[in-house]
Amino acid sequence: MTLQTLTAHELLNLIKQKKTSAQEIYRSISSQIEKTEKDVHAYAHIFQNPKIEESRECPIPVAIKDNICITDKLTTCSSKILSGFRPPYNATVIEKLKNSGAVFIGHTNMDEFAFGSSTETSYYGPTHNPHKLECVPGGSSGGSAAAVAANEAIWALGSDTGGSIRQPAAFCGVVGLKPTYGRVSRYGLIAFASSLDQIGPITKDVRDAALLMNIIAGYDEKDSTSANIPIPDYTQALIDNVKGLKIGIPKEYFIEGLSEEVKRAVFNAIDLLKKQGAIFKEISLPHTAYAVATYYIVATAEASSNLARFDGVQYGLRIQPQKTRKNPIVDLYEETRDAGFGLEAKRRIMLGTYSLSSGYYDAYYLKGLKVRTLIKQDFEKAFETLDAIITPTTPTTAFKIGEKANDPLSMYLSDIYTISANLSGIPAISIPCATGKDNLPIGLQIMAKPFDEEMLFRISYTFEKNKNH
């Protein structure tokens, strides 16, 4: 039996029936990693001899993005500057997974500090798309998405700041959910942009995403942005019924730049849901055009502030200057950061520092926050009459490794359809809806009101159930 190809819920049923064990499942994953990891490179660090507790509720192997802290395990954000860093504590989501009995396979490769859309900026080198190895898996959670797609993990955790779960999920043909901001604790997530970051699941199907959300969601007093709102059983939302649901199609998401095959796949998905009884109408989200610019002002400003802590003093890389140029401590900071940060990290730190600097704060950062509010208000107005909004996840299928590496603006536009959900704090999911040319997957994005992940699961499950009929 090829256990590594099954979903978590299928494996849990087999365990229940005593037809397999957590140990057997882990062995099948390890065997798959031995076969495919040299080509895919989904992992930054693979853990040896993980603790497996057969008697626990959910002893399923899980891959963890390399920016989520696990006690005493290398956690480096795929950056040289965090070389050798082993956190002295677990992230809250890790504690929740541990309590459920999860088996941690390793930390997955990612764009350095989550700065990227292709998993090419990692200090450890790029991850490859399992569907076509010369293509990127998306980013920044590309390692997590590739691990699940290549059956090197049953399911995984990623983090999403501007699409970093949904975009790689679309490129790799798996399910990726960005929960509502505050729904899942960020305690122990090494921050990129604190007002945008959110941990979420990457899975083989919609039911697995609901199961994983049941484990990781919930209030956490250690996280001041955590929402103290009751958590439903998300598996109860997995019903094959969208009759009467009102779903919006924003015209701003179907303009120049969207490939014909992605557009066709999304409208085919809309037709399927129409046949199931959903009601669609065209809507306008008028400030969509400003989302990318707004994001790259707000996110880089917060990144600049968050990354100031990496200075070679407390943890990670330290480059001891050979001679004093300014003064010993400034020399230490400069040489450590110069050697430790990659090109994209330096670019974003400089951009964020500039927009926060005296004389430019009002012109850039403050204006960015005001436009962010307008984008959020667009969604609030839309959801007064709608249950959900449907769009493409990405404008194209996966591009080739190296194709956009020297064109940052082109790379940033890879997240054009996903960024607004982070700026607004709303939940959004990407599900596979078709396969394009070269066997590359196409993702469908569904967005809902804050804390209405159940609506996402209901629509996604209905689509998943009916798309092959």
Top pLDDT among 412 and 388 is at 388
Residue 270 has pLDDT above 70, yes or no: yes
Last residue of a domain, one of 332, 366, 400: 366
Active-site residue identified among 117, 164, 414, 430: 164
Active site residue 357: no
CA dist., res. 469 & res. 358, Å (int)? 60
Phi and psi dihedrals of 262, rounded to 5? -70, -45
Cβ 120 vs Cβ 151: under 8 Å = no
CA dist., res. 254 & res. 260, Å (int)? 10
Cβ 58 vs Cβ 32: under 8 Å = no
Q: pLDDT of 233-251, one tens digit each?
A: 999 999 999 999 999 999 9
Sequence-ordered alpha helix ranges (H) in 357-407 = 367-382
What token pair was written down for 188? 């122990």
Q: Are residues 25 and 120 in the same domain?
A: yes
Active site residue 259: no
The CATH number given to whatever domain includes residue 177 is 3.90.1300.10
Least Cα distance to 216 among 93, 342, 103, 80 occurs for 93
Q: Are residues 109 and 18 in the same domain?
A: yes
Last residue of a domain, one of 329, 351, 366: 366
Fill in the DSSP letter of residue 361: I
pLDDT at 410: 76
Q: Are residues 152 and 80 in the same domain?
A: yes
Q: Are residues 64 and 187 in the same domain?
A: yes
- Percent share of the chain, pLDDT over 70: 100
Q: pLDDT of 325-340, one tens digit each?
A: 778 899 999 999 999 9
Burial class (CB in 10 A: 0-12, 13-18, 19+), 232: middle
Active site residue 414: no
Q: Are residues 178 and 309 in the same domain?
A: no
Active-site residue identified among 28, 65, 100, 404: 65
Given CA atoms 333, 336, 338, 340 in this order, what sign does their dihedral have? negative
Q: Are residues 329 and 195 in the same domain?
A: no
Active-site residue identified among 28, 118, 122, 140: 140
What token pair was written down for 80? 């040289």
Q: Domain residues for 136?
A: 3-241
**Residue 256 pLDDT grade (very low, low, confident, very high; cuts 50, 70, 90):** confident
Structurally, the chain folds into a number of domains equal to 2
Q: pLDDT of 124-175, one tens digit each?
A: 999 999 999 999 999 999 999 999 999 999 999 999 999 999 999 999 999 9
Could you give the 3-state DSSP secondary structure of residue 282? Answer: strand
Cβ 163 vs Cβ 422: under 8 Å = yes
Question: Whose structure tokens read 């895919």?
Answer: 40
